[in-house]
Amino acid sequence: MTKHGVVLGPEDAVVAAAAAARHFSFPPPRKGGESCRKLAAQVDLGAAVMGSWLDSMKASSPRHRLMAPLAGAADAEHDDWMERHPSALDRFDALAAAAKGKQVAVFLDYDGTLSPIVEDPDRAVMTDEMREAVRGVAARFPTAIVSGRCCDKPDPAAMLGGDGDVRDEGDDDDADVFGFVRLAELYYAGSHGMDIRGPTADPNHHGKEAKSVLCQPASEFLPVIEEVYGALVEQVEASIPGAKVENNKFCLSVHFRCVEEAAWGELFEQVRSVLKDYPGLRLTQGRKVLEVRPMIKWDKGKALEFLLDSLGYAERSDVFPIYIGDDRTDEDAFKVLRSRGQGAGILVSKFPKETSASFSLREPAEVRDFLRRLVDANT
């Protein structure tokens, strides 16, 4: 097995493997999905109706326990969904067969994918086992973290240790994604893809020269984001107990995970009132978080395309990108894979959700197991 190359076989191995798997085609079919939870991906603030936002905010908190009479229906919905989005672990052999002969590249969301969702965003650490799995994958394939969090602090190279790790856990600045992952050999696309950095360790790792900033399409918005951050801290964080505003450099997160549900409407109104003076910004929604972003045509899907281009894979048909994510914002990347007809999108979710991903994994522990299998299959 060569570094970053998959040892590959004939294309028909894909067909054979897929045919052998019961109920399985590659990628799995998309049908119906009427009963799935609807994901309103982005809402234009100008057209925002308070009621629909509140509904959407509540929908971002799936009910974990169902009343007994509803449990049967939920099981049927879940089974149907799993047929359309089978477990990437159960279908690993078919996936590996589909990737055979192709250049694999791996794209990983952070929160809810590499780390479990926790109440305090500053404490969303990933385990050492997960870090080792990601390190193993990155030693074999170009690997990127694609996150809503800010990328890193200004000069990560200055903080590098001998093994390419950066910083110790517990440092004050760990809330950025680089501080959590601490692997300098990866690509990072922070701020929902608006801050793309190349590896800062092992310059020859992907046959590319190490670079720091590769793409920052929203840099002109920095002053306005700073200004709005100040206003949101002053108005929302100060007046609504539990609200937390996070500065992700090119975008902002207004967290309501720790806010009483009765105050969600007020929180939304306050955010909207701050944003009404900034027509260049838009509001989207993630997992118990409102995201303030520049009104530009850029998202995680664009970041994925940019990274594939940067890696020299734009025109190649023998590329197999694997994208793993749990959030609404990851849907833009899943859609890119669908439209390219390449690779595999894997949604991390225990619950049926409308998604453009082809496969599913239930939780970060399964993501770790999947990454380990990827490493083992290419060792």
Ligand X SMILES: O=P(O)(O)OC[C@H]1O[C@H](O[C@H]2O[C@H](CO)[C@@H](O)[C@H](O)[C@H]2O)[C@H](O)[C@@H](O)[C@@H]1O
109 given a catalytic annotation: yes
119 belongs to the binding site for ligand X (CB under 6 A): yes
331 belongs to the binding site for ligand X (CB under 6 A): no
State the Cα–Cα distance between residues 135 and 131, nearest whole angstrom.
Answer: 6
Task: Please identify, using beta-carbon distances, which residue of 193 and 199 lies nearer to ligand X.
Answer: 193
372 belongs to the binding site for ligand X (CB under 6 A): no
Q: Is 128 helix (H, G, I), strand (E, B) or coil?
A: helix
Task: Please identify, using beta-carbon distances, which residue of 122 and 266 lies nearer to ligand X.
Answer: 122
Task: Please identify, using beta-carbon distances, which residue of 98 and 183 lies nearer to ligand X.
Answer: 183
CB of 17 to ligand X, least distance (A): 31
Part in contact with ligand X (CB under 6 A); list of ranges 11-19, 23-31, 119-127, 207-215: 119-127
Among 255, 293, 328, 353, binds ligand X (CB under 6 A): 255
State the Cα–Cα distance between residues 261 and 271, nearest whole angstrom.
Answer: 16
Residues 148-187 that bind ligand X (CB under 6 A): 148-149
Residue at token pair 């939870």? 37
- CA angle 316–320–321, rounded 5-degree value: 105
Among 118, 157, 222, 314, binds ligand X (CB under 6 A): 118
Task: Please identify, using beta-carbon distances, which residue of 110 and 313 lies nearer to ligand X.
Answer: 110
SS3 of 145-209: EECCCCCCCCCHHHHECCCCCECCCCCCCCCCHHHHHCCCCCEEEEHHHCEEECCCCCCCCCCCC
Among 182, 288, 328, 368, binds ligand X (CB under 6 A): 288
Q: Which of 303, 343, 342 is nearest to 216 (CA)?
A: 303
248 belongs to the binding site for ligand X (CB under 6 A): yes
104-134 burial string, b = 16+ CB within 10 Å, else e?
A: bbbbbbbbbbbbebeeebeebbbeeebbebb
* Residue ranges that bind ligand X, judged by CB under 6 A: 109-112, 117-119, 121, 124, 147-149, 246, 248, 253, 255, 257, 286-289, 291, 327, 329
**What amino acid positions are annotated as catalytic residues?**
109
